[in-house]
Amino acid sequence: MKTYYHPDFLKYKHALHSESPERLKGILKKVKTLLPKKYGEEILLLAHTQEHINHIKSGALIDRDTPNNPGMHAIALKSAECAITAAENNGFSLARPPGHHAGPDYAMGFCYYNNIAIAAKYLKKNVLIIDLDVHHGNGTQDIIKNDEKIHYLGLHQNPAYPGTGITSELNYSNYPLQLGTTGKEYLKILTHALDKLKFKPEHVGISIGFDTYYKENLASLNLMLEDYEKIGKLLSERLENVFCVLEGGYYIQDLPLMFENFTKHFI
Ligand SMILES: [Zn+2]
């Protein structure tokens, strides 16, 4: 799987913040990367209001989780462009900031613009978004709801931040998971979710978060290193035209191994 990355993704750091440049640095030692294409600021309007974009650009306050400064807009735009590049090439967007908590008119939870929703909308095809971050992709769900070309399928810990993702509707299916869920249980639920899905995608975007790991400080699931290979294998065997966008995952030391295991079976 081709991996897309831009050096600007290392250019911001917030003091005492889990979402740090170190998350990418270890993975970069393992993989060759390609630069993302430029698509221009108007891509943000695929998922966000102009008011929201102006807010991020202005550097105005958001919240403690999601610090803002005038430089954040340009880096977050690049992260969205990287997701589209990955979507057009069945690749992996190794980018930060992540995006799945950002909604049409709000930023939160380390996310400014919703990279995967922007990429899915840009494709203008039937796109299945599978969100495997330990936290519910509330922003993605808010953006794609009522869009019949996109279906959101999410597995996430409950209870956990941001507290949403309990119910399912026409174009989104949520699978809340108990604290302590193991890799074996996780794979069983993911397989069941794919079996049940009626939506026929032309592309599949995976919001991959590695915060389902058993050593993760921000959550309480119990996935082990080898489980990421099993999940990647299952998805690569069952789905076509797959692209991946990095969301969370904060156990820095083992992130490169999780990335390597997860991507092993994708071509
Ligand atoms: Zn997360």
Whether 70 shows a pLDDT value over 90: the answer reads: no
Whether 15 shows a pLDDT value over 90: the answer reads: no
pLDDT of amino acid 14:
85
Span 56-69, pLDDT tens digits: 999 999 998 999 98
Span 218-260, pLDDT tens digits: 999 999 999 999 999 999 999 999 999 999 999 999 999 999 9
Q: Residue 116 and residue 153: Cα distance in Å, rounded?
A: 13
Q: Residue 117 and residue 84: Cα distance in Å, rounded?
A: 10
Entry pTM: 0.98
In Å, how far are 12, 76, 140, 159 from 86, measured between CA atoms? 22, 15, 17, 31
Instruction: Write the CB contacts of 71 (distance below 8 Å, at least 6 apart in sequence).
Output: 11, 12
Share of the chain above pLDDT 90, in %: 96
CA of 17 relative to ligand 1 center, distance in Å = 14
CA of 132 relative to ligand 1 center, distance in Å = 9
Choosing from 55, 101, 136, 203, which is the catalytic residue?
Answer: 101
Residue with tokens 């083992």: 254
CA of 57 relative to ligand 1 center, distance in Å = 24
Q: Respond yes or no: is residue 135 known to be catalytic.
A: no
Domains and CATH numbers, the chain: 3-263 (3.40.800.20)
pLDDT of amino acid 176:
98
CA of 213 relative to ligand 1 center, distance in Å = 11
Span 147-197, pLDDT tens digits: 999 999 999 999 999 999 999 999 999 999 999 999 999 999 999 999 999
Average pLDDT value for the chain: 97
